[in-house]
């Protein structure tokens, strides 16, 4: 078994997208380990990639929303970390990471709902999407990421 303490955190950028009604975009995960849970767009940061550009890239890749449809309102004041549960250590991300170190951005959606395209990513990461009240986020996310989503909400509450 892999010792989690010996593994680094995976660098990750996330995007909290809010619409004109101050509701937050969430997508329902397709992958089996998180099936039935919802999350905001997020993903790995490429080596040398700017944090903001990584967050916008992930938004575009996962839900088809380009930077022309988003007004970035706020960026991260700090990195947020979470650890994978023991049963996932050594299994996800080819066993190279113990969890993620995430940098979150907040942006206002300037487009129409029809601009959202879950097929933009091949294969898709989400099988459904919806707009939700911000306070519902922690109960929709897979439990081991719940504290991170609570921290994202605290970080951006004044801007939503």
- Per-residue pLDDT of 38-96, as tens digits, reads 999 999 999 999 999 999 999 999 999 999 999 999 999 999 999 999 888 888 888 89
- pLDDT-above-70 percentage for the chain: 96
pLDDT of residue 50: 97
User: What are the angstrom distances between the C-alpha of 76 and each of 26, 79, 89, 104, 155?
Assistant: 19, 7, 26, 5, 8
Return the H-helix or E-strand segment holding 10.
strand 9-18
pLDDT of residue 34: 64
- pLDDT-above-90 percentage for the chain: 82
pLDDT of residue 141: 94
- How far apart, in whole angstroms, are the C-alpha atoms of residue 83 and residue 97? 9
pLDDT of residue 32: 60
- Domain 4-159, classified CATH 3.90.79.10, yes or no: yes
Domain ranges of the chain: 4-159
- How far apart, in whole angstroms, are the C-alpha atoms of residue 45 and residue 40? 16
Return the H-helix or E-strand segment holding 83.
strand 80-83
Q: What is the DSSP-derived secondary structure letter of residue 94?
A: G
Q: Which residues pair with 24 in a beta bridge?
A: 18, 132
Looking at per-residue pLDDT, the higher value among 9 and 3 belongs to 9
Whether residue 39 contacts residue 59, with contact meaning beta carbons closer than 8 Å, is answered with: no
Q: Which residues pair with 16 in a beta bridge?
A: 106
pLDDT of residue 1: 59
What tens digit of pLDDT does each residue of 89-115 get?
Answer: 888 888 899 999 999 999 999 999 999
Q: Token digits for 80?
A: 């947020």
Looking at per-residue pLDDT, the higher value among 123 and 25 belongs to 25
Q: Token digits for 28?
A: 């329902």
In this prediction the pTM is 0.93
According to DSSP, the β-strands at 126-132 and 9-18 are unpaired
pLDDT of residue 33: 59
What tens digit of pLDDT does each residue of 15-44 get?
Answer: 999 999 999 999 999 876 566 899 999 999
């Amino acid at each position: 078994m892999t010792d989690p303490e010996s593994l680094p955190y995976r660098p990750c950028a996330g995007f909290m997208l809010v619409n004109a009604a101050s509701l937050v975009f969430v997508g329902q995960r397709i992958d089996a380990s998180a099936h039935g849970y919802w999350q905001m767009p997020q993903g790995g940061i490429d080596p040398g990639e700017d944090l903001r550009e990584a967050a916008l890239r992930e938004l575009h890749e996962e839900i088809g929303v380009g930077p022309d449809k988003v007004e970035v309102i706020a960026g991260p004041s700090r990195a947020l970390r979470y650890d994978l549960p023991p049963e996932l250590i050594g299994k996800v991300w080819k066993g190279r990471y113990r969890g993620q170190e995430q940098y979150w951005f907040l942006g206002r959606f300037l487009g129409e709902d029809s601009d959202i395209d879950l097929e933009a990513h091949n294969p898709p990461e989400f099988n459904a999407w919806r707009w939700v009240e911000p306070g519902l986020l922690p109960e929709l996310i897979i439990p081991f990421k719940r504290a991170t989503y609570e921290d994202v909400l605290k970080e951006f509450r004044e801007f939503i």
